[in-house]
Structure 1
Amino acid sequence: MATRLLATIVLAFAILSAGYWWGHTATDNAWIAKQAKKDKAADDALAKANARADKAAGNYLQEHLDQEDRYAILNAQYSDLRGRVPLVVHRPVPVAGACANNAAPQDVERSAPVPVVDSGPGLTLAAVRMWNGSLSGVDAPAGACGLAGTAAQADAACAQDSGLTIDDAWANHASNAKACAEDRQRYQHLIDFLNANKKTTSP
């Protein structure tokens, strides 16, 4: 009787142990499967992020090389243009002589040459064309400068007064410089944010 009771106890203990082991194993297997699923999702997300980064880097590199080529072509083209056409023109302004008592000038005075003064340099159409092309990276006509025609016609058109002055160019430069400074500030804040975010998410 004692032997049977002991055997029953041993058997019950074995069954309980087997049940515990099976339950523990099943729990471990479920956790492992769940963790494997999470790991796979994380690996897939990382692979997609790396693919996007590689694509973005490739696009940037290609665009950078294309831009370098464009500016090299523009530099050669504009260097040749500057060798043929001036960037500034002087604007002589006629100065009429004062007439006493508002009297009409005599014929002899009317036929005499009118004195002129230099009102300062103005920018040629060539200067405007090169200025705009250097900003955009794309050559575009400025007025008649850059339009189709013979070499002599093209140079004559590019040498014409654009109506703009050096003060106009300086005002445009100041505006562009301010915009560039604002862009640099925004990009620097973005870089700092990304670097800080990378540090907090890294293991």
Structure 2
Amino acid sequence: MTAQALIALTSALAMVGGGYWWGHTATDNAWQAKHAKELQAERAETAKETKRADQAAANYLTEHLDQEDRYAALSATYQDLRRRVPLVVPGPVVVVTRSDPSGPDSSSPDERSAPATAGDGGPVLTLAAVRMWNGALTGTDQAAGACGPAGAAESSDATATEACTQGSGLTLDEAWANHAANAKACAADRQRYQHLIDFLNGK
């Protein structure tokens, strides 16, 4: 009886131990399978993001080189234009005089009482200057009034040169105000981009 009981106990312990080992092995295998699946998903996501980053870098490089080429072409065009056309010309002077008291007076009372005056007559930007100003901002050579984009025969076309020397009506004060607004916008952009760069680097 004792031997049989010992055998039965040993068999029971073996079955319990086998069941525990089997359960532990099954759990370990399930965890490994889940971990392998998660790792595979992470690798796929990393590969996807890497490909996206590489494409973004390639797009930036292409656009940057294109912009460099456009600005180089603009610089050459505008250097030639500046050799032929001034950036500023005297503004129009408008003189208002009273009517001749010895002749018939058809003027209004306000005109008769107004003294002779002259307009500002200060320098104004030429159409060429406006064209170059806008080109520097946009990277594209576009017409400013009658001063059209550079053409094959522009350097020898007296009419085109004459058109570009015409005053635009924009004063230096207006140009400076525009410059200040553009500089402020650029400073705000730099600040935003720097905060974004700092955030991404920290992340």
Q: TM-score, normalised by structure 2?
A: 0.83
Length, aligned pairs only: 186
Structure 1 residue 95, shift from structure 2 partner? 4.2
What are the equivalent positions in structure 2 for 1:70-89 lying under 5 Å apart? 70-89=70-89
Distance in 1 separating the partners of 2:162 and 2:141: 18
Instruction: Judge conservation of contact 2:91–2:169 (CA < 8 Å) in 1.
Output: no
Structure 2 unaligned runs (5+)? 105-117
| Residue in 1 that maps onto 2:31 | 31
| Residue in 2 that maps onto 1:124 | 126
| Residue in 2 that maps onto 1:177 | 183
| Residue in 2 that maps onto 1:162 | 168
One-letter code aligned to 1:122: V
| Residue in 2 that maps onto 1:3 | 3
Residues 173 and 5 (structure 1), Cα distance of their counterparts in 2 relative to 1, 3 Å cut: same
Q: CA RMSD in A?
A: 2.2
Residues 117 and 23 (structure 1), Cα distance of their counterparts in 2 relative to 1, 3 Å cut: closer
2:65 corresponds to 1:65? yes
Residues 93 and 140 (structure 1), Cα distance of their counterparts in 2 relative to 1, 3 Å cut: same
3-state SS of the aligned residue for 1:163? Answer: strand
Residues 4 and 155 (structure 1), Cα distance of their counterparts in 2 relative to 1, 3 Å cut: same
Structure 1 unaligned runs (5+)? 106-115, 199-203
Distance in 2 separating the partners of 1:89 and 1:64: 36
Q: Name which of 139, 143, 146 aligns with 2:145.
A: 143
Structure 1 residue 195, shift from structure 2 partner? 2.5
| Residue in 2 that maps onto 1:113 | none
3-state SS of the aligned residue for 2:145? Answer: coil
3-state SS of the aligned residue for 1:174? Answer: helix
Distance in 2 separating the partners of 1:71 and 1:167: 26
